[in-house]
Structure 1
Amino acid sequence: MAFTGKRLKGLIAATFTPMTPNSDINLLVIEQYVDYLVQKQHIRNIFVNGTTGEGMSLSICERKRLTEEWVKHARGKMDNVIVHVGCLGLSDSKDLAAHAASCGADAISAVCPSFLKPANLDALVLYLKDVASAAPSLPFYYYHIPKLTGITYQIYELLGKVKENIPSFRGVKFSDVNLMDFSLCVSEYKEFDCLYGVDEQLLGALAFGAHGAVGSTYNYLGNKNGDMLEAFEAGNLQKARKIQCSLQEFLYFVFDMAHFSGSKAN
């Protein structure tokens, strides 16, 4: 697959990584997984090896093998495969970025290092520039998830800096509840895709102009969230709110089961 310059929009499922009972990655079920997302949940975009996919807990070899399988089986069935390549070390991130490009991924994304953190925004931009340079032909998305990384820089300020420094930069996966920062990103940087990553308050992000959403719950609630998007786009806010509230009630139960383990069990 190749990126054609189209904007990312709609729902993007952050895929789980299938495992065997022995805790080995289970590549044999990925084709079935892709078919399920397309046919049952009407999802045509995926974000692999991210937080939901436990990418930071996998080896580099495992992440490469998963990327190869997702891209292979999504070809001709899905619109976009975005591969998360972020690691604690820059060389590993660049290695995964180059590998994603060689496999035919449509885009890459990366969190910033979270153990030895960038000291300031300029340092973060330099890191992201280095990662993106390993796959210059692929659109690059910054993965902002401060709850896990501890990096709390305003993304609105970051976008102003990356605009001039990273030619392949296309947007941000914004997994934070700061809708003021998100809204400023959408309104001031219209050339970038602002993808929201907090599933339980997606409707709020839509009101501020979210172009799309990346989340774990779209694996099994894709249709329901799709209905909410349709209601919102049709101007039926009452219906959209009703759907969002019903989703929140269900997710309250899922999160009580320890979020990712509960979601994966679904």
Structure 2
Amino acid sequence: MSTMAPETDSRKLTGLVAATFTPFTTEGEINLSVIGPYVQYLIEKQGVKSIFVNGTTGESMSLSVAERKALAEEWCRTARGRMDQVIVHVGAMSLSDSQDLARHAAQIGADGIAVIAPFFFKPQTAEALRKFLQEVASVAPSVPFYYYQIPAITGINMPVVDLVDGIQQLIPSFRGIKFSGSDLMDLGQCVRHSPPQWSVLYGVDEQLLAALAMGAHGAVGSTFNYIGSHMNKLLSAFEGGDLIQARAIQFQMQELLSFAMRLGFDVGVNKQLMAEVSGLHLGPPRLPLLQCPLERSQQILQKYRSVFP
């Protein structure tokens, strides 16, 4: 494989990126009709203009390849000309499925693709994981490529800084990391050793301010679907040197999420909260996730409204 850099989009991914929920009908089928209003809501109500689709929040591992393609196509079509970037997660347990999704993402004009580490048969070394990522990236060489690290899901805890060492030679389209771990030293080292064209995007929403202090270029998160307007204020305060204001907003988010976590806060509960706040019909999650009990969603919604009046 050539190590000559391909012609990739030079726009650097920064700021807030909403990790989107997948809309389902009440019968559990994907509901493409909600995606247009969803994009409009993010832009107009939350001020969020980049999205990360078919990821953990989008229940990607509970979707078929055909469903993931249909969703990616509709997100890209609807967001084109309205949003800054659409990043499509194409990771899968099967290399061939991941490559199939990557080719499709390139065909529909995705602004980037991201890949999670396989976590059934886990890569035992950084070399093995780099090889898997290289094989996926090779079928869509003109599309900016991101590694999606989320050790709480994958159980893969190898330092990301070791994984990405020399990766540009293997994957010329490599453009950054969605870092959804809590190891801020590893995050800092990734930032320190990243070339200017890379984006290091943090994925633990309740610790965003700490990541910004370490040099993160932006963030990908589920809560930006419904707290994006507030977190944009956090970014502005941080960039303006107003740490007191930035910290106050981060503490508000932590108050909400710590309350929700004590009650039980998974993708299904998070999805229901987004539906309650936005008014969008997102439907239930897919099994094995269970729909959020009404009493719990109302408690969390009440807390949301008290914290972010």
TM-score, normalised on structure 1?
0.97
Please say if residues 3 and 106 of structure 1, whose CA atoms lie closer than 8 Å, have aligned partners that are also in contact: no
Name 2:53's counterpart in structure 1: 48
CA–CA distance in structure 2, aligned partners of residues 181 and 55 of structure 1: 26
Partner SS, residue 219 of structure 2: strand
Name 1:109's counterpart in structure 2: 114
Partner SS, residue 86 of structure 2: strand
CA–CA distance in structure 2, aligned partners of residues 72 and 3 of structure 1: 20
CA–CA distance in structure 1, aligned partners of residues 59 and 9 of structure 2: 29
CA–CA distance in structure 2, aligned partners of residues 63 and 134 of structure 1: 18
Does 247-256 or 141-150 show the bigger shift? Answer: 247-256
1:70 aligns with 2:112: no
CA–CA distance in structure 1, aligned partners of residues 14 and 8 of structure 2: 14
1:203 pairs with one of 203, 209, 215:
209
1:226 aligns with 2:239: no
Name 1:237's counterpart in structure 2: 243
Q: Whose RCO is larger (CA < 8 A, sep 6+)?
A: 2
1:183 aligns with 2:175: no
Unpaired segments ≥5 residues, structure 2:
1-6, 274-309
Please say if residues 48 and 67 of structure 1, whose CA atoms lie closer than 8 Å, have aligned partners that are also in contact: yes
Please say if residues 3 and 107 of structure 1, whose CA atoms lie closer than 8 Å, have aligned partners that are also in contact: no
CA displacement 1:118-161 (0-9 Å, x = unmatched):
12111111000000011111000000001110111101111113
- How far residue 3 of structure 1 moved from its aligned partner, in angstroms, is 6.2
1:262 aligns with 2:269: yes
CA–CA distance in structure 2, aligned partners of residues 189 and 82 of structure 1: 20
- How far residue 262 of structure 1 moved from its aligned partner, in angstroms, is 1.8
Unpaired segments ≥5 residues, structure 1:
none
CA displacement 1:220-257 (0-9 Å, x = unmatched):
00001001001100101011111100111011233334
CA displacement 1:31-55 (0-9 Å, x = unmatched):
0000000011011100000000000
TM-score, normalised on structure 2?
0.84
CA–CA distance in structure 2, aligned partners of residues 194 and 179 of structure 1: 12
CA–CA distance in structure 2, aligned partners of residues 9 and 218 of structure 1: 14
2:253 pairs with one of 235, 247, 254:
247
Partner SS, residue 46 of structure 1: strand
Name 2:40's counterpart in structure 1: 35
Question: How many residues are paired up?
Answer: 265
Please say if residues 9 and 144 of structure 2, whose CA atoms lie closer than 8 Å, have aligned partners that are also in contact: no
- How far residue 261 of structure 1 moved from its aligned partner, in angstroms, is 1.6
1:227 counterpart letter in structure 2:
K
Alignment of 1:80-119 (within 5 A): 80-119=85-124
CA displacement 1:61-111 (0-9 Å, x = unmatched):
000000010000001100100000000000000000000000111000010
CA–CA distance in structure 1, aligned partners of residues 36 and 185 of structure 2: 39
Please say if residues 134 and 170 of structure 2, whose CA atoms lie closer than 8 Å, have aligned partners that are also in contact: yes
Please say if residues 12 and 45 of structure 1, whose CA atoms lie closer than 8 Å, have aligned partners that are also in contact: yes
Give the CA RMSD over aligned residues.
1.2
- How far residue 4 of structure 1 moved from its aligned partner, in angstroms, is 3.1
- How far residue 258 of structure 1 moved from its aligned partner, in angstroms, is 2.3
1:216 aligns with 2:211: no
1:111 counterpart letter in structure 2:
I
CA–CA distance in structure 2, aligned partners of residues 259 and 147 of structure 1: 13
- How far residue 259 of structure 1 moved from its aligned partner, in angstroms, is 2.6
Partner SS, residue 108 of structure 1: strand
- How far residue 162 of structure 1 moved from its aligned partner, in angstroms, is 0.9
CA–CA distance in structure 1, aligned partners of residues 139 and 259 of structure 2: 41
Identical-pair percentage: 54
CA–CA distance in structure 1, aligned partners of residues 93 and 164 of structure 2: 22
CA–CA distance in structure 2, aligned partners of residues 232 and 259 of structure 1: 29
